[in-house]
Amino acid sequence: MEAFLLQVLSGVTNGGIYAAVGLALVMIYQSTHHINFAQGEMATFATYIAWALIQVGLPYWIAFAATLVIAFAGGVALQRIILRPVEKAPVLTNVIVFIGLLVIFNAVSGMLFDHTIKVFPSPFPKEGMLISKYFSGHQLGSTLVTLTVLVCIFSFLRFTPIGLAMRAAALNPDSARLVGIKVSWMLAIGWGFAAAVGSVAGMMVAPIVFLDPNMMSGILLYGFAAALLGGIDNPWGSVVGGLIVGVLENLLGAYVIGTELKLTVALVLIVAILTIKPDGLFGKTVVTRV
């Protein structure tokens, strides 16, 4: 029984990681209607920046905040400089540009910071009242942070005028322009936020999986799965999706199929769920008018 509980809880931890990455993907999708394949590598790069700031001596939360700002600025710059020329190009052209960004960020991370794993500190205490051997301080803390980010994103998109403008720009750029929304800048801000959310995900994940240039390569697929499972246009969905993926994968590996086929079976299940509910568990069905 204890083992089962531990499996579920470690699945929840993993799920939290996937959810955080999934959130960044949802963020980008909501503001640009693109899936950013470079999200993982951007998050890793941002985490390296945080690491470098901490190495130089900045206290954790200052480095954290600084990284958020740098990531935001970087995301905006990325959109303005690199993505704008292909804004009007076909979807797949954009996808290839994302892939290009993916390899660039990965290579630059490796070149600047080398490939040996680095320890990234966790700001959360190891001991405390809620902490027993079921939850570590970091697991609780990072879950809290992820939920906070989620609430912020959701409220921002739902309740603020800029959030509305961003959603409008993504859904119907032409109509949005007609009502005076600067579509291009909305996209840029969307990228900025996504980069910032990604950097948070990276900084929460790195203490658990250690920091190296390929840190996110395994996680990206799961983040992708989490976002899609929950519905690509639903931030809450990606959290639930992440948890489902995390717990499912652990339970399958431990009790059903053994670890040698764990990944395969988890993926088959995700595809199966999507086949039954093609817009994700909480997604809105898009109806096209003939």
Q: Which residues in 76-105 contact other proteins (CB under 8 A)?
A: 82, 85-86, 89-90, 92-93, 95-97, 99-104
Site for other proteins in 137-196 (CB under 8 A): none
Name the amino acid, one letter, at 22.
Answer: G
Q: How far is the CB of 14 from other proteins (least distance, A)?
A: 6
Interface residue with other proteins, options 14, 31, 67, 238 (CB under 8 A): 14
User: Residue 185 is encoded by which pair of tokens?
Assistant: 């800048």
* φ and ψ of 118, to 5 deg: -120, 150
**CA neighbor of 221 nearest in space, from 13, 35, 32, 29:** 35
Binding string, residues 194-223; x marks residues near other proteins by CB under 8 A: -----------x--xxx-xxx--xxx-xx-
Distances (CA, A) of 150 to 91, 156, 220: 27, 10, 18
Helix, strand, coil abundance in the chain, percent, nearest 5? 75, 0, 25
Q: How far is the CB of 159 from other proteins (least distance, A)?
A: 27
Smaller CB separation from other proteins, 174 or 260:
260
User: Residue 289 is encoded by which pair of tokens?
Assistant: 């008018």
- Please choose, out of 8-16, 49-57, 144-152, 180-188, the segment that lies near other proteins by the rule CB under 8 A: 8-16
Smaller CB separation from other proteins, 11 or 74:
11
Interface residue with other proteins, options 44, 47, 106, 238 (CB under 8 A): 106
Q: How far is the CB of 162 from other proteins (least distance, A)?
A: 25
Smaller CB separation from other proteins, 114 or 284:
114
Q: State how far the Cα of 159 lies from the Cα of 5, in Å rounded to an integer.
A: 38
Site for other proteins in 215-274 (CB under 8 A): 217-219, 221-222, 224-225, 228, 232, 249-250, 253-254, 258-261, 263-264, 267-268, 270-272, 274
Smaller CB separation from other proteins, 99 or 162:
99
CB 194 within 8 A of CB 29: no
In eight-state DSSP terms, residue 279 is T
Tokens 């690509």 found at: 232
| Number of Cα atoms under 13 Å in the Cβ half of residue 223 | 29
Name the amino acid, one letter, at 70.
Answer: I
Q: How many degrees, rounded to 5, is the angle at CA 76 between CA 174 and CA 221?
A: 90
| # chain residues binding other proteins, by CB under 8 A | 77
Site for other proteins in 26-65 (CB under 8 A): 35
Q: State how far the Cα of 17 lies from the Cα of 212, in Å rounded to an integer.
A: 16
Interface residue with other proteins, options 57, 275, 285, 287 (CB under 8 A): 275
Smaller CB separation from other proteins, 165 or 246:
246
